[in-house]
Structure 1
Amino acid sequence: MRLGLQVSYFSWPGAPASIGPTFGRIVRDAEGAGLSSLWVMDHFFQISMIGPPDLDMLEGYTALAFAAGQTTRIELGTLVTGVTYRHPGLLAKTVTTLDVLSGGRAWLGIGAAWNEEEHRGLGVPYPSTGERFERLEETLQICLQMWAGDDRAYEGKHHLLERPLNVPQSLRRPHPPILIGGGGEKKTLRLVAQYADACNLFDNGLGPAGIPRKLDVLRRHCEDVGRDYADIEKTVLARVTLGPKGGTSPSGEPFASVDETVERFGRLSEAGVDTVLMGMSNDTDEAVYPQVAELVRQVEPLQAPGR
C-alpha cells in the first residue's frame, strides 16, 4: 500500500507571509517521511467542509510547481481539478509543464466540478451536471490525444481545437497518470474504467464496508470496456491525525496511534484499496513526521486482493 498527503488548509498563523515557508516545510517533511505523493485541492475559495470561503486558498498548479522545486521524488497532483476551471488544451499544457519541470512527477487529477459558489464568485460558467460530465469526457480525450503527440484537429460537442500541439511532451510516458475523483456509479466510474489510471473514493463517507461495492461497480465497467481492472489504482481520501494515544490535536480531533492507523488501513487494503491519501489536521507539526515514516514502513507490505 502507498500513502500520500493532501494539504487543504493554509490559514496558518502569520498568513499570508507564513504560507510559503510553512508549505515548503510540509512538502519536504512529507517526502522525507517516505510518502509517495502530495496533493492539493484545486479550488479558489476554501470549501465549506473545512471552513468559510474567505480562508486562505492557493491556486493548485502554482502550489504544486512550488512543491516541485522543494522536492526531488514525491509525486504531485490536484485532488481534483474541476473540469470547468481550465480549457482542456491549457490544462494538458499545464500538467505537462509540471511534469517536465518536476522530472516526471505530475498527475492529472480531475473531476466534474461541484463548487457553484466559487464559479459564480469568480465568473466561471457553471453548466448543468450533464454538460459537466460531457466536458469531462472531452477533456480526457483531448489530454490523451495531446500526450500521444497527435495534433490533428479535435471537434467535440463543447470544444474545438484546430491544432492541439503539445511541445515539449511530458516526461512520464505514455502520459502523466490520470486520477478521476468521485464515486458516481453510472458516469464517474465508467469514465475511470475507460480513461483513467486511478480512481479516488472517500473513506470517511463509505468506510471499508462501502468501498467494495463501489469497486465492484468499477470492475463491471472495466469488463464492459475491455479494461483490466487490476491496471487501475484504487485510492481513498482519509482523514488521519497521528499522535499520542488519548491526546487531541489543536483542532480538537482525537489522536490516532500508528498501530491504530495501521489496523484501519489494513481494513482498507482488504477492501481493495491500493493507496490512501491522508488529510492530516496536524500536517504543520514537524514532530509528527517520524510517526508518518513509521506508518509508511508498516503499511507498505499491505496489498489489496488481486494485486
Structure 2
Amino acid sequence: MDFRIFTEPELGAGYSELLRVARLAEETGFEGFFRSDHVLAMDGSEGLPGPTDAWTTLSALGRETTRIRLGTLVTAATFRLPGMLAITVAQADEMCGGRIELGLGAGWFAAEHAAYGIPFPSVHERFDRFTEQLEILSGLWATPPGARFSYAGTHYTLTDCPALPRPVQQPGPPVIIGGYGPRRTPALAARFAAEFNLTFASIDTAVEQFERVDAACRSAGREPANLPRSIGQTLALGRTDAEIAERALPAAAPENMRTNALAGSPAQVVDAIGRWRERTGIDRLYLQILDLADLGHIELFAAEVMPQLAAEGTPG
C-alpha cells in the first residue's frame, strides 16, 4: 500500500505553495503528489491567487522532484481536445523521466465551465466524449514509431496522426478512472484503467462499486485482481483534540467529505485505514490536504502513521 498527497489548488494555492508540498511529500516518504484539475473554487470563495493549470504545474514539478509520481485527480475530458491532451501528458512524462499518471473523467462541475467559457454538454454526451478520448489516448500511445494513427468517432476525428511525442512510459502513462456510475464507469475502467479510484466514499459504498468494477472486468476478460483500487479521503490528523478540530473540515463542507474523513489521533487514523484495507483491499490511499501552509500535518502523518502501518505488515 502506498500513500499519496492530494491537493485542491483551486481553493487558493500558487505554484510556490504546491512546490513546497510536493518536495515535502517526496522527502517524507510519500509515493505521489496529485492535484485536482479545477479552475473554480466550489465553496464560493475567490480561491486567491486564482486557478493554476494542472498540467503546467505538474510539468514544472517534474523538473523539481526526482522520485514521486505526479498526476491529476482528475482532468475533465471537457477541458482539452484528446490529441492535444496526449501531447501535453506525453511531454510532462518526458520532463519528469516517466513519473506521470493521468486521472481522467467526464467532467461534472458546471459552474467552472460557465465561468471560463468551456462547453458543457449533457451527461450522456460528456460520457461519449470521455469514451472517445480514452480510445484516442490509448491508441496514440500504442502507435509504434514510424506508424500513423487515425480515428473516426462521433465527436473526434484524427487523420494520419504521427502520434508524437511518445511518452517515456510505455504503452503510456497509467490512466486512473473513478466515480460512482453503476454501468459506464466500471466498464470504462475495465477497458482502460491502470487504477480505479473513489474519493470521499464510505466503506459500504466503495465495496459496492468495487464489486461492480470486478464484474465489469470479468465481462471484459480482465482479471479483477489486475486492476488496483484506491481511495481518496480528507485528512484531519492531530495529537490533541484542538489540533484535530483545527484541521477538520468546516460544517459547510459536503457531508460525504466530512463523515468519511480520516480524522483523529495517529492511532485512530491507523485503525481507520486498517478497516479500509480489511473491507476493500485497497492498494493506495490519497490524502486530501486542504491547508497547504500546514506542512506539519503532512510531517505528522509521515512520522506517526506510516511507521505504524509498516510495523503491522503494510508497507508505508
Tell me the distance in 2 between the aligned counterparts of 1:293 and 1:52.
30
Structure 2 contact 19–61 (Cα < 8 Å) conserved: yes
Whichever residue aligns with residue 34 of structure 1, its letter is: G
Tell me the distance in 2 between the aligned counterparts of 1:67 and 1:154.
33
- Secondary structure of 2:197's partner? strand
Answer yes or no: is 1:296 the counterpart of 2:293: no
* 1:10–1:215 Cα change, 3 Å: closer
Answer yes or no: is 1:106 the counterpart of 2:100: yes
Answer yes or no: is 1:155 the counterpart of 2:134: no
Percent of aligned pairs with the same amino acid: 30
* 1:116–1:179 Cα change, 3 Å: same
Counterpart pick for 1:24 among 4, 14, 19: 19
Structure 1 contact 189–221 (Cα < 8 Å) conserved: yes
- Secondary structure of 1:29's partner? helix
Tell me the distance in 1 between the aligned counterparts of 2:152 and 2:127.
17
Tell me the distance in 2 between the aligned counterparts of 1:68 and 1:292.
24
Answer yes or no: is 1:186 the counterpart of 2:183: yes
Answer yes or no: is 1:169 the counterpart of 2:166: yes
Shift of residue 268, structure 1, vs aligned partner: 1.0
Whichever residue aligns with residue 279 of structure 1, its letter is: Q
Shift of residue 54, structure 1, vs aligned partner: 4.9
- Secondary structure of 2:270's partner? helix
* 1:298–1:174 Cα change, 3 Å: farther
Deviations 1:89-146 (A, max 9, x none): 1111111111111010001110010111111222211111111111111101111111
TM-score w.r.t. structure 1 length? 0.89
Counterpart pick for 1:45 among 15, 22, 40: 40
Corresponding residue for 1:126? Answer: 120
Structure 1 contact 249–282 (Cα < 8 Å) conserved: no
* 1:252–1:275 Cα change, 3 Å: closer
Structure 1 contact 77–109 (Cα < 8 Å) conserved: yes
Deviations 1:17-57 (A, max 9, x none): xx333221111101111111111111111223xx4355432
Structure 1 contact 146–166 (Cα < 8 Å) conserved: yes
Tell me the distance in 2 between the aligned counterparts of 1:182 and 1:95.
22
- Secondary structure of 1:190's partner? helix
Shift of residue 85, structure 1, vs aligned partner: 0.5
**What pairs up with 1:72-91 in 2 under 5 angstroms?**
72-91=66-85
Structure 2 contact 149–163 (Cα < 8 Å) conserved: no
Whichever residue aligns with residue 101 of structure 1, its letter is: M
Q: Return 5+ residue gaps in structure 2 as ranges.
A: 250-262
Corresponding residue for 1:286? Answer: 295
Corresponding residue for 2:6? Answer: 6
Answer yes or no: is 1:145 the counterpart of 2:134: no
Deviations 1:205-263 (A, max 9, x none): x3222211111111100111001111111111101122213123685528622221111
Whichever residue aligns with residue 302 of structure 1, its letter is: T
Structure 1 contact 108–179 (Cα < 8 Å) conserved: yes
Structure 1 contact 4–278 (Cα < 8 Å) conserved: yes
Deviations 1:132-166 (A, max 9, x none): 11111110111111111252311111100112323
- The Cα RMSD (Å) is 2.1
Answer yes or no: is 1:236 the counterpart of 2:231: yes
Counterpart pick for 1:269 among 256, 274, 277: 277
Tell me the distance in 2 between the aligned counterparts of 1:164 and 1:250.
54
User: Matched residue pairs, number?
Assistant: 294
